[in-house]
């Protein structure tokens, strides 16, 4: 079992690079109230550069879709994985995110010599890894991974919308927008909502008569608190 000291050293900035393939890893969907968290791992091909790679959050949906197709066509290999709503509720969102990232790396057709992960936390991997804060804007392989993860999750939300159109998943992608909170109050939680997230838990408790009636404003405050916790966990 790895010691706490070893884990801290492993996440420190490395002064040297391992020879071989480099993979970038990022996730999408940590903050939403519904749906899985998705992670992607990408090994780019230096001989086939992709123009326009950037943090997926700074790109339009059309730009992400176009880049997604280019990444799939030009990268040496890619892998997209996820952790389910049930895993999020069982393990918590941080551990579920690490699980999705590990699955994405393990799903690569080629084994990288080193993995760069966006953020300040590392999943348990059997290869050299480094956490890079702001990596989705600084490292092209991580940018590519952020785009694949975002596009994949957005498409999943389209499927959720087709199944439960009254929640509006196609628009808010599961995030705690006013429209989503109103739908939660009106229709209750569906099977795709994360029951461990406080706004959803509050709606479920109200449905069983365990709490006083909720309002959209009260749920909005819970969303803000959840977001603050998320920021403290991983800037």
Tens digits of residue pLDDT in 66-117? 999 999 999 999 999 999 999 999 999 999 999 999 999 999 999 999 999 9
Q: Is 63 exposed, middle or buried (0-12, 13-18, 19+ CB in 10 A)?
A: middle
What integer is the mean pLDDT of 115-141?
Answer: 97
Distance from chain centroid for Cα 186: 27
Q: pLDDT band at 205, cuts 50/70/90?
A: confident
Per-residue pLDDT, 127: 96
Q: What is the pLDDT of residues 143-175, one digit of tens each?
A: 999 999 999 999 999 999 999 999 999 999 999
Q: Is the pLDDT of residue 210 over 90?
A: no
Q: What is the pLDDT of residues 167-200, one digit of tens each?
A: 999 999 999 999 999 999 999 999 999 999 999 9
Supply the pTM of this predicted model. 0.83
Q: What is the pLDDT of residues 37-54, one digit of tens each?
A: 999 999 999 999 999 999
pLDDT > 90 in the chain, percent: 77
């Amino acid at each position: 079992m790895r010691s706490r000291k070893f884990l801290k050293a492993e996440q420190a900035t490395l002064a040297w690079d391992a020879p071989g393939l480099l993979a970038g890893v990022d996730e999408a969907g940590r903050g939403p109230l519904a749906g899985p968290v998705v992670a992607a791992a990408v090994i780019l091909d230096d001989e086939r550069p992709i123009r326009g790679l950037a943090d997926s959050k700074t790109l339009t949906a059309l730009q992400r879709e176009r880049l997604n197709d280019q990444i799939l066509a030009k990268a040496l290999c890619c892998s997209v994985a996820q952790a389910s709503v049930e895993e999020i509720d069982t393990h918590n969102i941080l551990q579920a995110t690490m699980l999705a990232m590990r699955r994405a790396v393990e799903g690569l057709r080629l084994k990288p010599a080193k993995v760069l992960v966006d953020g300040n936390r590392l999943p348990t991997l059997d290869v050299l890894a480094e956490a890079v804060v702001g990596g989705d804007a600084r490292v092209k392989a991580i940018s590519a991974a952020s785009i694949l993860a975002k596009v994949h999750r957005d498409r999943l939300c389209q499927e959720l919308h087709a199944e439960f159109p009254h929640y509006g998943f196609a628009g808010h992608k599961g995030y705690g927008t006013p429209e989503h909170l109103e739908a939660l109050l009106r229709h209750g939680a569906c099977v795709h909502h994360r029951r461990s997230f406080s706004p959803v838990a509050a709606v479920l408790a109200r449905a069983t008569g365990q709490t006083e009636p909720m309002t959209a404003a009260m749920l909005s405050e819970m969303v803000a608190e959840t977001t603050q916790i998320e920021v403290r966990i991983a800037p």
